């Protein structure tokens, strides 16, 4: 039995396929100096899982159009590898394992994955007005500016504070967060009779991802979300969904300060309510400048976005990845 076949069987049968993938990547890296085509090994193994994926699609009566759109990501990441290394290979094989194990689907413009929400917050909705209040869970350390301590690797040992959350009885109290995901150092009290908990860590959600290479057309985004909601209700009725969630550089609150209010990126960001989350500028820099740690003085400024980010950061602005949610009840608004 070939090494590729051994890994194929292990990936398809293991209850921990990502551990198998990690081991395979390590083995491939030791092989690379001796084999000219070692970079294609992970692609070969993943693609060998395709027949199993097709059978799953047939069993769930999922269309060929969604299958082709979903696995088109293989082409995206093979070309990404070729641009970076000059030879064919496969970037982020761990990411593509979600596709081949049928955990992720591309439906219209966006990719979706059913999962449990990981953010350490609680979202309350007013029973009468539908107003939302977001409280971080107790024990989260924040800086004086309301951002999570360690955001952009900046820590506030002098003036930082730790969040509190009190539930029980007639009052719910916590640190309310604003549109940018920053938390208020003062406690806000809610009447427990008027507010209900609608989202928290562990809630079932659809995690939204944005494949590179296409426009963020607002109509296409809205259609994609509506189609995804119908898709999961029909094909996976056993999986409840409370919200769409997204963690991306596209949700950086700083982008709203440096791009036109009607730009596709800003419009996309407004679709999600931001929550506290520790992140940094690396992904935004990589997507905008092609480098996670660019020398900003010499970074390319050939696009309006590159110029805008450069000027914003040079002027003291801060950019970082954002994380947010969109309740299904808000999905059509």
Instruction: Kindly report which listed range (258-262, 274-278, 320-324) carries the lowest average pLDDT score.
Output: 258-262
Is 245 within a domain? yes
Last residue in a domain, options 102, 134, 155: 102
Same domain membership, residue 260 and residue 168: no
* CATH number of the domain that residue 229 is part of: 3.40.630.120
pLDDT at 112: 99
pLDDT at 34: 54
Which residue carries 């491939």 as its tokens?
28
Is 108 within a domain? no
Enter the tokens of residue 277.
Answer: 């989350």
Q: Beta partners for 111?
A: 106, 209
Is 114 within a domain? no
Same domain membership, residue 150 and residue 80: no
Number of domains in the chain: 3
Expressed as residue numbers, the domain containing 90 is 3-102
Q: Are 175 and 135 in contact (CB under 8 A)?
A: yes
- Condensed to tens digits (0 to 9), the pLDDT of residues 158-216 reads 999 999 999 988 999 999 999 899 999 999 999 999 999 999 999 999 999 999 888 89
Same domain membership, residue 96 and residue 126: no
Distant-in-sequence, close-in-space partners of 223: CB < 8 Å, separation ≥ 6: 108, 109
Is 110 within a domain? no
Is 266 within a domain? yes
3-state secondary structure of 264: helix
Q: Are 107 and 66 in contact (CB under 8 A)?
A: yes
Same domain membership, residue 315 and residue 208: yes
Cα(first)–Cα(last) distance of the chain, in Å?
A: 55
Enter the tokens of residue 152.
Answer: 């952009």
pLDDT at 33: 55
The Cα-based distances of 123 to 229, 274, 277 in angstroms read 21, 11, 14
- Residue 31 clears pLDDT 70, i.e. is over it: no
Count other C-beta atoms under 10 Å from residue 221's C-beta: 20
Instruction: Report the share of the chain in percent with pLDDT over 70.
Output: 97
Last residue in a domain, options 40, 72, 102: 102
Which residue carries 């029973």 as its tokens?
127
Same domain membership, residue 272 and residue 177: no
Same domain membership, residue 95 and residue 130: no
* pLDDT band, very low/low/confident/very high, at 332 (cuts 50, 70, 90): very low
Q: Are 176 and 188 in contact (CB under 8 A)?
A: yes
Same domain membership, residue 287 and residue 252: yes
Is 115 within a domain? no
- Residue 330 clears pLDDT 60, i.e. is over it: no
Rounded distance between C-alpha atoms, residue 312 and residue 296, angstroms = 11
Q: What is the torsion angle, in degrees rounded to the nearest 10, for the CA atoms of residue 262, residue 264, residue 266 and residue 267?
A: 80
Last residue in a domain, options 165, 200, 235: 200
Same domain membership, residue 218 and residue 323: yes
Same domain membership, residue 213 and residue 196: no
Same domain membership, residue 98 and residue 25: yes
Q: Look over the chain and give the mean of its residue pLDDT values, rounded to a whole number.
A: 92
Q: Among residues 271, 270, 275, 323, which one has the least CA distance to residue 134?
A: 275
Is 112 within a domain? no
Same domain membership, residue 237 and residue 323: yes
Same domain membership, residue 182 and residue 298: no
The Cα-based distances of 253 to 89, 148, 179, 206 in angstroms read 34, 14, 8, 22
3-state secondary structure of 207: strand
Which residue carries 């730009």 as its tokens?
263
Is 98 within a domain? yes
């Amino acid at each position: 039995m070939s090494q590729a076949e051994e890994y194929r069987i292990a990936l398809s049968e293991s209850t921990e396929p990502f551990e198998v993938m990690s081991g395979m990547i390590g083995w491939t890296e030791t092989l690379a100096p001796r084999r000219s085509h070692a970079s294609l090994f992970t692609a070969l193994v993943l693609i060998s899982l395709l027949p199993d994926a097709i059978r799953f699609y047939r069993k769930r009566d999922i269309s060929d159009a969604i299958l082709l759109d979903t696995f088109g990501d293989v082409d995206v990441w093979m070309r990404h590898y070729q641009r970076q290394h000059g030879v064919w290979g496969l970037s982020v094989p761990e990411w593509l394992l979600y596709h081949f194990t049928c955990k992720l689907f591309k439906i219209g413009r966006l990719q979706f994955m059913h999962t449990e929400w990981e953010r350490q917050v609680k979202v309350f909705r007013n029973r009468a007005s539908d107003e939302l209040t977001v409280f971080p869970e107790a024990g989260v350390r924040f800086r004086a500016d309301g951002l999570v301590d360690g955001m952009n690797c900046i820590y506030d040992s002098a003036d930082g504070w730790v969040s509190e959350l009190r539930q029980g009885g007639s009052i719910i109290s916590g640190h309310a967060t604003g549109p940018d995901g920053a938390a208020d150092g003062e406690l806000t009290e809610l009447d427990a009779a008027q507010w209900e908990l609608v989202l928290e860590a562990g809630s079932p959600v659809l995690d939204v991802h944005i494949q590179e290479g296409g426009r963020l057309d607002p109509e296409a985004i809205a259609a994609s979300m509506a189609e995804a909601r119908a898709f999961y209700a029909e094909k996976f009725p056993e999986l409840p969904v409370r919200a769409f969630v997204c963690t991306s550089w596209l949700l950086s609150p700083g982008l709203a300060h440096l791009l036109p209010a009607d730009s596709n990126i800003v419009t996309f960001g407004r679709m999600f309510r931001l929550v506290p989350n520790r992140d940094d500028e690396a992904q935004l820099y990589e997507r905008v400048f092609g480098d996670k740690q660019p020398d900003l003085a010499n970074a390319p400024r050939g696009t309006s976005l590159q110029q805008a980010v450069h000027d914003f950061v040079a002027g003291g602005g801060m950019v970082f990845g954002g994380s947010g949610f969109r309740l299904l009840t808000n999905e059509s608004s």
